[in-house]
Structures are given as C-alpha cells and as structure tokens.
Chain A
Amino acid sequence: MISDLNLTILFASVIAGAAPVVLAAIGETITEKAGIINLSLDGTILLSAMTAFAVAFETDSLMLGFGAAGIVGACVAGIVALFSIYLGQSQVAVGFVLTLMCRDLAYFLGNPYSRLQGPQASPLPLPFLKEIPFFGSVFCNHNLPVYLSLVLIFISWMYIYRTSYGLKLRSVGENPAASYVRGINPRKIQLAYTLCGGFLVGISGAVFSLAIKPGWGRPQGCEGVGWIALALVIFGGWHPVRAAAGAYFFSFLQVIGIYGQSWLPSVPAQVFQVAPFPLMIFTLALMHLAQKETVLSWTEEKAWIRTLIRMFSGTAPQSLGKPYQTD
C-alpha cells in the first residue's frame, strides 16, 4: 500500500489542493492587516463557490464565473465593513451571522444547480518549465488558479512589506488615529482592503467549484475551509507567507487522509475527512502555546526550537477589531 505513494503526485496534489486555502488566507490577512476581522469566510466561500458555478454554467465562461465570485466575496466583506466601520457594530457578531446566512443562501439559491455537469478549469502545463524533473511536475503542471495562488504569496508579501501602499495599510491597522494625523483616511483604507480581501476570498470559492471540487451540491465539500483560513491568519502571525505555509500543511493533512483510508481500512472513511480540521486547529493552538513565557525560557539553550518558534510568531495589528471612530 505504501508503495503506491508517489512523492511527485503527493506534492503536486498538495499544491493544487492548497490553492483556494492560500487565496482565502491571504485575502483575510490583508483584511486583518487593515484592522478589520471578516469572520464570514466559511459562508462567503460557499456562496461565491455557488455563484461561480451558476454563472459559469449559464454563460459557459469561466472568467465570468471567477469574476462574479470575486464580486460576491467583496459584497459580503462590504457588509462587514459597513456594519463595523460606519455603524459601529461588533465585527465578530456580524461576521458570524453572515457565515450562517451566506451558507444557507448558497444552498437555497444553488438548489437548481445541484449535481450538474458544468465547465471547469482545464490543466495548463507551463511549456519548458514542466520538463524540469520533479520541480516541473510538482509546480508547473496545474491550472491557472493554482499558479495564481503561488504568485499571490509573493505579490502580497511584496505589497504589504515593500511598498508605500503596504505601509499605509499596516499603519491603519496598527494606529488609525496616527495615520489620520498623517493625512490618511483610515475608514476609506479599511473599506478598500476589506473589499479587496473579500474579493480574494470569493475567488477562493470559485477555485473550489470550478477547479478543485468541480460542481455544486449540498454539501459542496468546501465546508469548514473558511474557518481553517481564519485560524491560519491568526496563527500565521498575520504574515501572508506563513499563512500560506499553514495552508500547504493543511492540504498535506487532507491528502494524507486520502492515503490513510487505504492504510487503515478499519477506520471509517468519514473520520479521515473530518480529521484534518481538528488536527490543523490544534497544531496551530500548540504553536500558539509555544510562544508563552514559560516555554520560551525553557527553550533558552535549544537554538533550533527557538528559531522554529520565532518563525511562526507574530503579533496582531494593534487596532484589530476596533473600528476607528472620529470624535
């Protein structure tokens, strides 16, 4: 059984499976960097996945499907932004209600599209690059959304940490009052990046229904992923590259689960489908615990553990969850 495990295929499926999670986690990282928590990810992903499939099915155009999904994601994020920035309501409360409502909305409106054959993204191997042994088949033999996720990791890091726009984004999340004094309108910036993050989350939903798990149904198969993306942001220390690394780990757990079914036939298949979710959340919780004072003093002499911990630690934007109020 174990000999079936082909490393190239394993890594390639990890990269492909992680694509939507990477997109959602980076989208949420951008939103939270600006100081807004969009808790509605799990519902948004489902609603945009449904929209993407329905639009692509009706118009027979993948691009329109992706575009519509992005707009839906941005709209839901816009509701969170509106409620928190302009109406002063709790972001967690609004986000939670939207999570449940968007999920139900997706099931309700998507009902006529259940279990239909629709268009899906076709593989697009990169010429020349795919010939490179191992590297080529792992990274360069995917469809467009997967490449997008790989490129986005780099771009988002560049944008947040190496451009003046990124500096503004971070300053608004850390200290909106100070940025206001510097002539930046915190509310506008927060609104813009919440919409932008929501757009990416919407695209992530489209990747599910048009590429990773093509089609629509109840359940679609991407339920719960939004929560994972949210957890990745927190425990990835609000850093896009670390959040993406977590997404690959989650995808790895899911792929291993598929192999696990053949290794341990006595354990029911359903357990393997659910297992990656708690495993992921508790791995992240454990890493979070490792940043406590007592543990840090214990690792004083163990240099490699310290570097490992430092790699995954980061602090939340100072004003996360507290909307900026003008006096």
Chain B
Amino acid sequence: MQLNKSLQSGFTLLLNGVLTLIVMFCFTTLILLVAGAPPLAAYYHIFKGSLGSWITFGHVIKTWIPLTLCSAGLIYTFRIGLWNIGVEGQIMMGAVFSTALLRWGADWNQPFGVIGLAFAAGIAGGAIWAIIAGFLKTKGGVNEIFAGLGLNFVAQGFILWLIFGPWRRPGVASMSGTEPFPYQLWLSTWPGLRIAPAGLALAIGAVLLTALILKYTRVGLNLKAIGNNAQAARLFGLNPQRNMILAMLLAGGLAGLAGNIQVTGVYHRLLPAISSNYGYLALMVVMLSNYNIWAAPLVALFFACLNVGSIQLPMVLRLDSSLSGVIQGSLVLATLAVQAWRVKRNK
C-alpha cells in the first residue's frame, strides 16, 4: 500500500516534470523561430558549449559554485518567508570586503593567512549587507524587497566608485576592474581548469550544512514554524524578528562567501559585474527546486549549463546570450503553471 502510494506520487512528479519541459521547449522554440534562428542548432550549441568538453564543464562548475552557495543561503530566508532579493548586493559586498583585505595584506608574506582572513571578510561583508536589510524590515517596516534592491544599487555604485576612484588601476581606470592580485594570493586551481577545489568543497559543505541545520536543529524548526504561521510561532514563544535576522545573516554570509570565491578563485580582481547576476538567478533556482535543499544543487547545475552554453551563441549563431535567461524563466513559469493546474484538477 505504502509502496503503491509512493510509486503513484513518483509517477505524478515525473509526469509534471515532462509536462513542464514540453511547455518550456514549445515556448523557447517559438521565441527562437520569432528571432529567425534555427532552434535545434541553438539547443545543440548550448549543450556542446556546456557539456561538450572538460574545459567547458570546468566553466559550468565555476558558475555552479556561487550559484549553489547563494541558493543554499536563500533556502533559509525563503523558509521564514522573506524575499531576500538583496542577495545580489550581498555577493558584491562579499567581493568588496575580500578585495579590501587582499589589497591590504598583499605584502604580508603570509599568503595562506591572508586568503583565510579574506574568506572571513567576504562572509562578514555579505552578512553585514544582509543584516542592514533585515533591520530595515524588522525595525523600520520597510519591505525587504525594496530594502534589498536599494542596497543592491548602493553596492553597485560603491564598486564603481572603488574601481574608478581609490582602487583604480595606475594609468587607466576602466570597466575591466582593479589591478589583479599577486599570484600567490590566487586560490589554487586544478591545472587546466579554472576551478578552485576549495570553492567546490565549500559549496558542497554549504549544501550539507544547510540540510543538516534545517532538518536536525532547533534553528531549522523555528524558521519553518515562523514561515508557516508567524502568529502561532509568537504565541509559542518564538521571536520572529530575531529569527528573521538570523536567516538573513546566514543567507548573507553564504552570498558573501560566493562573492569572495568570485574574487579569489575566478577573476583575481574586483570587477563591476563581479556578481554576474548570480544572486537573482539563485532566487529562481530555489523557486524551481521547490525550496528543497537537495534539489537546489541539481537545478543550479542545470542553470549553470544553460548560462555557460549560451556564451557560444553570439559567436556561432549571432544570437544574444540572454537566451539562457529566457529558458530559465520559462522553465520556472511552466513549473508554477503545471503545479497549479495539477492542484486544481485534484480538488
């Protein structure tokens, strides 16, 4: 009986997934036809550009790391019912704080110590930015979406000011960013691939830790209780505001860590586009994985493939690389639609 039931729910899940994919494919194919592009060739190049070789797969993992870190963090804030749209700015501030520490400690002759401190600084940067949004929400009653957006704009302006102001390259200040760090301050990578093992380990660790915290600790239970019914949780003696700040802190810390890895492991300098929209993308990852921590890394991997694969499109097919965003968006919308349709039918 039990088996039968789980089989049935598994079958429904599969059916939903297939239905979602069909809807998504129909929509993107339509868009490609409108743009006058050959759909099959576009899909093929996205596939080849992401999973076609070890080098491109390395790029996929490089994108997967920050995406997964941010997604893991966002699970906390979604659990408690917060829309942490400020995650983008939290990545940026993590990157800024890390860069500040690396510049400051460049001549200490203690590369490992400095990199370690830079990690701490990155986490702190993201967490501080998240806490500001959190306090604006709990103390000021400012909607977290708008507080977060405002802070995103501030972080972007701050990075531009740093790159064109105090941290500009000697001679020419440009959008290409600050002076690269000395080589010994780069996060060591596997030869041939630009993946930092440390980053990969941290991303996997973040997923495991998040799963553990949510499932087995009081914190996880509290977040869930408040997210489901804040009124009841308050009567039960829980403090929603304090827990919201805690959730923001965890989310911001992980986003800051992602920013740090972008700086120390990928670009080795501060860029205006250091966050690469990964924060906004991570929000979609978490939505598509139905706020499930085990599904999030898989969805993040798929999104990373789409992002990396579509980089080829402008060169090969003269299409804009934003096709990946269209696919991702339509996928999330199709999921929501299929879900809702199923619920309606079962009523």
Contacts and interface: CB of A to CB of B under 8 A. Distances in A.
Interface of A: 39, 79, 83, 87-89, 92-94, 96-98, 100-101, 103-105, 107-112, 218, 224, 227, 230-231, 234, 266-268, 270-271, 274-275, 277-278, 281-282, 284-285, 288-289, 292
A274 B157 contact: yes
A227 B157 contact: no
A111 B319 contact: yes
B109 to A, nearest CB: 33
B31 A285 contact: no
14 contacts: A93-B336, A97-B332, A104-B323, A104-B326, A107-B322, A108-B35, A111-B319, A111-B320, A267-B165, A270-B157, A271-B160, A281-B149, A285-B147, A288-B140
Which 10 A-B residue pairings sit nearest by Cβ, starting from the closest?
Answer: A101-B329, A104-B325, A268-B164, A281-B150, A87-B340, A274-B157, A104-B322, A277-B153, A107-B322, A270-B160
Contacts of A288: 140-142
Nearest to A231: B146
B91 to A, nearest CB: 16
Contacts of A224: 153
A271 B161 contact: yes
Given A93-B287, A271-B157, A289 B329 contact: no
A234 B142 CA distance: 10
B161 A267 contact: yes
Given A97-B287, A268-B164, A278 B83 contact: no
- Find the residue from B143, B173, B320 having the highest chain A CB count within 10 A: B320
Interface string B153-191: 110110011001100000001000000000000000000
Contacts of B281: 100
Given A83-B340, A101-B326, A96 B85 contact: yes
A94 B165 CA distance: 39
Nearest to B161: A271
Interface residues of B, number: 51
Contact of A218 (B151, B161, B283, B320): B320
- Is the contact region of chain A dominated by helix, strand, or loop, or is it mixed? helix
B156 A274 contact: yes
Given A104-B326, A278-B157, A92 B145 contact: yes
A224 B156 CA distance: 12
B337 interface: yes
Most chain A CB within a 10 A radius of its CB, from B142, B283, B330, B337: B142
B142 A285 contact: yes
Interface in B124-159: 136, 140-143, 145-147, 149-151, 153-154, 156-157
B267 interface: no
B149 A227 contact: yes
B233 to A, nearest CB: 20
